[in-house]
Amino acid sequence: MALEDYRAMMERCSNCSGCKWIPFDKIKSQRFSENCPSISYYNFNTHSARGRFQLAQTLLDGDCEFSPDVVEAIHNCTACGSCDSTCKITRYNLEPLDHNLALKAKAVEEGYALPEQKPIMDSLQQEKTMLPGELRSNRLHWASGIDVKDLMKEKGEVAFYPGCKYSYNEKLKPVAANALKLLINAGADVGIFGSADMCCAGRALQMGFENDYEQQAKANMEVFTKSGVSVIVTPCSDCYHAFKRQYAKLGLDIKVMHLVEYLDELIQDEKLVMKNRVPMTVTYHDPCHLGRLGEAYVPWEGKEKKILNQVHTWEPRRPRYNGADGIYDAPRRILQSIPGVELVEMERIREYTWCCGAGGGCSQTNPEFASWTANERITEANATGAEAMVTACPWCEESFMNAKDEDGNTIQVVHLIDLVLQAI
């Protein structure tokens, strides 16, 4: 939808400020009560979902322009969707996250991308990754030494799709390798896309580069279809969201699973048995794109229909994404299945989790803001007394590895797969 198509939502937003907080029912303290990194860091109303609705009205009316401050406000959104989930606690007809993305897209379309975004998009075009400086020729180094099918050459049921972060980041590469080995050892008919493996481009969409995203998505979908796989498993929450929710809009019809879902199934089916004790108190960080943004896409076409004079609904019933059906329980079940692991929860979890700061491309375009966002989460994690923070997304993991809490302390950051490996 173009920005203009959100006009009704802009004017029907009631300025309640719900978009600035986790669901009020869930607030346990002043310290960890806010949900949106952007307004929390920048403080001006413009940086909230309400502010963006209002800014968009003003831009469309021609009452302001894409000034440098406006452009920064538009792009300094981690697209984490926290505003969207809390808005939908009470509203049935607003889509703040989609609107935020449409606003970014409008800025990009009008030539108001951030200068920092250019090398990222150039890299996508040239090297098929949104990590500038990385070469496509090095993309498969993470899998060297693993005897795995190249799905472009031989058939397999499951595609393992590590995503750019796991493919290139030296510290994170072992996670991808271990995950793949674990799938192989568990008897999965798994392979990788080999030289056809490319960036999912989900972050292009999060940054407002709709055309680049679509181009890349279609290219990937061609690869997926050609490979004939029936399931794509990814350990990256960003990629998961891109495939499950966004590619599906473009017609992707292959089952998409996050690694935690796959492992959960293996454990449920007793194909994976946790034998070793891992004595550790951990807290789990719900990645935004796996949790509240991890709900599956449901096709819909329809139009608005007013009932009871002025109550706006859609005909036919429109799917509603409010985060209720995100992937929250699978990672927690895995943790609970590991002997010795004690899970202590942070205050902001599940659909009201706090973003790691990397979303929306912010860790690359605005590291100061992204780093503050991650630090906030580390403060929250350390407040639980946990020894380690477990997550299921490389972007979150990278953000947290470099973060410190308000007292300057770090926390050990662990991918779920690492704990599983220790336990089996």
Partner 1 sequence: MALAREIYRAFESIVGSRNISEDLGIRETYRCIPAQSSAHFGPYDQKTPLPQAVILPGSTEEVQQIVKLCNKYKIEFKASSTFWATMGYIGSDCAIQLDMRRMREIEIDAKNMTAVVEPYAIGATVQAEAMKRGLTLNIPGVGCSSSPLASTAGWAGFGPTSIFMGCATENMLGAEWVLPSGETLRTGSVGAGSGWFCGEGPGPSTRGILRGVVGTTGTMGVCTKVAIRLHPWPGPDHIPSVGDAPAYRAVLPDNFKGYTLCFPDWGAYANAVNLFHENPDILFLGHRQYNKFGRNLKVAMIKILNDKNKQLCDLPALMEDPVTKKQNEDMKIDVQVILAGMSKRDMAFKEKAVDTILEETGGWKSEFMQEPDIAAWNLMYLLRLGHKNLNYTLCGAYEGTFGLTGNVFVSSSLMEEASALKRKWELESDCIAAVGGDSDMGSISVMGGGGATGWEFFTQFDAYDKESIKNTKLFADATQEWMTSKGLGVDFCRWNEDARRPDGYNYTQEQHDEMYINLPQPHVTAYQYKVREAFNPNKLTGSYYRTLTPEKLKEQD
Instruction: Point out which residues bind partner 1 (CB under 8 A).
Output: 7-8, 11-18, 21, 23-30, 33, 43-46, 50-51, 54-55, 58-59, 63-67, 69-70, 73, 85, 88-93, 305-315, 317-318, 320, 322-325, 351
Shortest Cβ 25–partner 1 spacing (Å): 4
CB of 150 to partner 1, least distance (A): 41
Which one, 112 or 161, has the nearer CB to partner 1?
Answer: 112
Give Cα separations from 114 to 83, 107, 110 (angstroms): 23, 9, 12
Bridge partners of residue 341, in order along the sequence: 280
- Nearest-approach distance from CB 283 to partner 1, in angstroms: 18
3-class secondary-structure state, position 261: helix
What is the nearest approach in angstroms of partner 1 to the Cβ of residue 113? 17
Closest to partner 1 by CB, 247 or 352: 352
Residue with tokens 């393992």: 160
Distance CA(353)–CA(381), nearest Å, equals 12
CB–CB of 235/176 below 8 Å? yes
CA 392 to each of CA 45, 148, 395: distance values in angstroms, whole numbers, following the listed order: 32, 23, 9
Question: Could you tell me the smallest distance in angstroms from the CB atom of residue 341 to partner 1?
Answer: 23
**What's the closest the beta carbon of residue 22 comes to partner 1, in angstroms?**
9
| Smaller CB separation from partner 1, 95 or 418 | 95
We find the least distance from the C-beta atom of residue 311 to partner 1, in angstroms, to be: 5
What order do you get walking across the sheet with 412-415 strand by strand?
341-343, 280-284, 388-391, 412-415
Nearest to 29 by CA among 37, 21, 40: 21
- In terms of CB distance, is 87 or 196 closer to partner 1? 87
* Residue 137 or 310 with smaller CB distance to partner 1: 310
Identify which of residues 307 and 407 has a Cβ nearer to partner 1 in the complex.
Answer: 307
Of 25 and 269, nearer to partner 1 (C-beta) is 25
- Dist. CA 156–CA 416, nearest whole Å: 25
User: Contact, 249 vs 314, CB < 8 A?
Assistant: no
Could you write out the DSSP letters of every residue in 139-182? TTGGGTT---EETTTS--SEEE--HHHHHH-TTTHHHHHHHHHH
Question: Is the distance from CB of 110 to CB of 93 less than 8 angstroms?
Answer: no
Of 7 and 181, nearer to partner 1 (C-beta) is: 7
57 vs 393: CA distance, rounded Å: 35
Q: How far is the CB of 19 from partner 1 (least distance, A)?
A: 10
Using CA atoms of 31, 34, 37, 38 in order, give the dihedral in degrees to the nearest 10. Answer: -120
Please say which residue, 54 or 412, places its beta carbon nearer to partner 1.
54
Q: Is the dihedral of CA 364, 378, 289, 235 positive or negative?
A: positive
CB of 213 to partner 1, least distance (A): 25
